Structure 1
Amino acid sequence: MSDTTSMEAKGFYKLSWLQRIGFGSGDLAQNLIYQTICMYLLLFYTNVYGLDPAQAAFMFLVVRLIDVLWDPLVGTYVDKHNPRLGKYRSYLVLAGIPLTGFAILCFWDGFSGSLLYAYVTYVALSMLYTLINVPYGALNASLTRDTDEITTLTSVRMFMANCGGLAVASGIPLLVAALSPDGKTNTAESSGAWFTTMAIYGIVGLCLLFFCFSQCKERVVMDESETANVKVSDLWTEFVRNKPLRILAFFFITAFAMMAVGNSAGSYYMIYNVHGTSDDMAIFMGLGSIPAFIFMPMVPWIKRKIGKRAMFNVFLSTAIVGMAMLYVISMVPALKTQLWLVYVAQFVKSTGVIVATGYMWALVPEVISYGEYTTGKRISGIVNALTGIFYKAGMALGGVVPGLVLAWVGFDQTNAVEQTATAEQGILWLVAVIPAILLLLAMFIISKYELTDEVIDKINIEIEKRNK
């Protein structure tokens, strides 16, 4: 038996490029909805649908609290059950269809101003997203144990996720403005354009979920008898005894809070601080994803050259530099009018954010293997539910903070053009200052992560020996 065949027999599978792209298309599909929610739902709720910013902020918090209860239930259910279409991949289809429907309904103003309708549709959307995202995260660890392959797989996944992010960041404002009767994205008249745009993005996303389903083959999965006794309390047990998982979980909460705050404030920043057009907004928001196409393919090489920890430090520091540039440029009137400087700062910031937060997903299979090594139980669903709880906790902060800050600084949702100097300063803090503070905390947290590639390879080899 050749070395390659021998390693594959031990679970260290190599995937074809079609399989890698197929897996990555699942994240592309989810981001067509997820990024739309992160970047534009608050703007839609306040300026188009007619909710008060404080009401929207509180609703975002409630939805995330529901997720905290829902995620472990989903993770436990996924680990304990083996649907006919696949332990993890089946949910791409089963939950993908209703997810698409509720994503479209979130951007329908048939009950304009109704807080109840907003709650029902957003809660349903969030629960269905979890029903896809938790098993999709576990799907990564079920394809192979090979750390180099997982790094490549994660790079492809993040590359495609950022394709979705770019399609949303740049495409949404352009398409909404083109379809809107008044050519704007932040008025009540644009409501029909938002609904049509989300329908297009949702249907495309559903097709991509079906493609992901067709290309993923689960080969590193525990026997049904070994997961039959999985229970919700395993989530807390695993969190307590798995130190790398705890570190990763706290990194998730800070990283996603940072992204959620910055992304949701970006559209407000371009409209009110820079007074840009929908085209300017499309460029600015699109630059949040562009660096992925340059740097994510280089991640395997960068990691080999400098290691995981140094890579995180370099790119998180780059993001902080970009945020500082954005703040300084925005505070100097002569510089703020030079849009190219704003774009440069956004590019620098996004370069750091994309690489650091993109690669963190490659650490999830590592903490799953560490848990299996120490306990003998490979509870991928539970682990992904736990990371899901923390990244949604980060999303909760990211959803609540912008709404509260906007309410505190007196944001006028009826004015589609101008805001007070205080409101503009509050928006700038959301775009640059608060995310930078969160990144400093994230750098400290990830510095405590101790699972090197060498350690993980030894762990995986030992696990396979036990299984044989």
Structure 2
Amino acid sequence: MSRSKGFYKLSILQCIGFGAGDLAQNLIYQTVSMYLLFFYTNVYGLNPAVAAIMFLIVRIVDVIWDPIVGTFVDKHNPKMGKYRAYLVLGGVPLTGFAILCFWNGFSGSLLYAYLTYVGLSMCYTLVNVPYGALNASLTRDTAEITKLTSVRMFMANLGGLAVGMGLPIVLKMFDPTETMDLSVNDSAWLYTMAIYGLIGLGLLMFCFTQCRERVVMDRNETKNVKVSDLWLEFVHNRPLRILAFFFITAFGLMAISNSAGAYYINYNLHGSATELSVFMGLGSIPAFIFMPLIPAIKRLVGKKGMFYIFLTTAIIGMGLLYAVSMIQFLKEQMCIVYVAQFIKSTGIIVATGYMWALVPEVISYGEYIHGRRISGIVNALTGIFYKAGMALGGVVPGLVLAFVGFDKEMTEQTSFAQQGILWLVAVIPVILLLLAMFIISHYELEDDVIDNINNQIEKRHNNK
């Protein structure tokens, strides 16, 4: 396909530059997903149920805020770039709020926790929604989008590895007295988040310099975009609806499983900080093996086949994690725990990583049926659903921990509390994995279909 028709080829540096944006965001997102609940309950001093309600309210704010951001982004054209400008404009305050969220200066203050977490979430949207729309503006070429997504998710999981495996190690550097549990030293958390936040900001700047927007609607076609278009897009774009529901289940199972990881190692298996670091790091390591193979795997088994295989793989891994906690002999075999975590993570990483390649497809489908490429609106909608999944990761663990009587002062939790942690690590995520399989089975945009759609769109533009 000719470049003039929007089917641009992307250099490896452009792919890496774009992926740097997701690496940056994951240094914050994964820290919040894996450790913010732990920080609130064990360092900041909030009751788990109170923290759970706060996570829910923040997500409700997102439901209102995301469409506003998506509409604003589609309607406006900043000089620094329609989408990439927000990597800078939103990146600076995002870094500031991320650091403040892990500051214990107002220990136990619910108001401070709300202000900083709401601010963090709003700034994250201001970066993430236009960033999500950015990949659809780089090219229409399906093969290039798959390559771009593979590099992007490779780097996103590099961020997950830096958080999952690296954060406990960095905390220990600032708190050498820590031995078994995650550090409860408030200064160690603040300094650690400051390092992660500032590195993330530098990566956002690098992403800004490497991305070039080529496939965007002109000002006249987007000037009448309004918030209500989000609802109309959702109603008329069936592939988008399917993808949106897949997002909520996928992010829900990831957030719930991730947030329970620290509790699982500390209280069910009585592991050390080093063992926790390895366990969390294994949540990202499979990406470096399998994400570069996604284009080949997809060619071999197709989109749906790839989803089915790897979602099933995740179920097998979670079944092993459940068995480890239920069989006394296996509790002492951390190597089996690591194998189970690796298997689970392999399935989740590939399935949830490739789903981002479907976003440009549903954007193109929307453009095909109504003539407008409203990438910001579409990413705002997917943002609402994946943040709803993140809400599950904040609300469900907090409520379950409160229900089973988790007590942070006890190094030896009751058997009921340990069972509740196990529900979060394996049982609830497996239910969501099965639901995700059912949802994705209804996705209809196979490669030949979407290629034909993109060609039809380009013919329209050439005939104008």
Tell me the TM-score range normalised by the shorter chain: over 0.9
The match for 2:306 is 311
The alpha-carbon deviation at position 186 of structure 1 amounts to 5.4
2:415 to 417, 421, 426: 421
Partner of 1:431: 425
Question: Shift of the alpha carbon at 1:187?
Answer: 7.1
The separation in 2 between residues aligned to 1:402 and 1:263, in whole angstroms, is: 10
1:220-369 to structure 2, matched below 5 A, reads 220-369=215-364
Displacement of 1:342 in angstroms is 0.4
* Alpha-carbon contact 1:47-1:187 (below 8 Å) kept: no
Give the alignment partner of residue 461 of structure 2, picking from 454, 458, 467.
Answer: 467
Q: Is the 8 A contact 1:373 1:459 kept in 2?
A: yes
Residues 41 and 32 (structure 1), Cα distance of their counterparts in 2 relative to 1, 3 Å cut: same
The whole-number CA distance in structure 2 between the counterparts of 1:94 and 1:274 is 44
1:143-195 CA distance string (max 9 Å, x none): 00000000000000000000000000001111112212531585785111000
Residue by residue, what CA displacement relative to the aligned partner does 1:337-364 show, whole Å, maximum 9, x if unpaired?
Answer: 1000000000000000000000000000
Tell me how far 1:336 sits from its aligned partner: 1.1
| Contact 2:316–2:343 (8 Å) recurs in 1 | yes
- Partners of 1:47 and 1:188 within 8 A in 2: no
- Give the Cα separation in 2 of the matches to 1:188 and 1:424: 21
Find the partner of 1:372 among 367, 375, 385: 367
Structure 1 counterpart of 2:439, from 445, 449, 452: 445
CA positional deviation for 1:40: 0.2
Distance 1:187 1:355 in 2: 29
Return the alpha-carbon distance in structure 2 between the equivalents of residues 460 and 170 of structure 1.
Answer: 41
The answer to whether 1:34 aligns with 2:29 is yes
Q: How big is the shift at 1:37?
A: 0.1
Overall identity of the aligned pairs, in % = 73
2:448 pairs with 1:454: yes
User: Does the 8 Å CA contact 1:181/1:189 hold for their aligned counterparts?
Assistant: no
The match for 2:11 among 9, 16, 38 is 16
The 8 Å contact of residues 182 and 273 in structure 2, kept in 1 or not, is answered as no
* TM-score, reference length from structure 2: 0.98
Shift of 1:9: 1.1
Matches for 1:2-401 after TM superposition, within 5 Å:
7-180=2-175, 182-183=177-178, 189-401=184-396
Amino acid across the alignment from 1:337: E
Supply the RMSD in Å over aligned alpha carbons: 1.0
Aligned residue number for residue 3 of structure 1:
none
Structure 1 residues 445 and 269, CA, compared in 2 at 3 Å: closer, same or farther? same
| Residues 173, 185 of structure 1: 8 Å contact kept | no
State how far apart, in whole Å, the 2-side matches of 1:285 and 1:275 are. 15
1:307 is paired with a residue of what secondary structure? helix
Relative to structure 1, is the Cα distance of residues 188 and 350 closer, same or farther in structure 2, using a 3 angstrom cutoff?
closer
How far 1:206 moved relative to its partner? 0.2
Q: Is the 8 A contact 1:72 1:382 kept in 2?
A: yes
- Asked if 2 retains the 8 angstrom alpha-carbon contact of 1:31 and 1:165, the reply is yes
The answer to whether the 8 A contact 2:28-2:196 is kept is yes
Q: TM-score, normalised by structure 1?
A: 0.98
Contact 1:43 1:186 in 2 (8 A): no
For residue 411 of structure 1, the aligned residue among 406, 409, 412 is 406
- State the distance in 2 between where 1:437 and 1:74 align: 32
Q: Which residue identity is paired with 2:90?
A: A
Alpha-carbon shift at residue 212 of structure 1 (Å):
0.1
Q: 2: CA distance between counterparts of 1:421 and 1:47?
A: 20
DSSP 3-state at the match of 2:2: helix
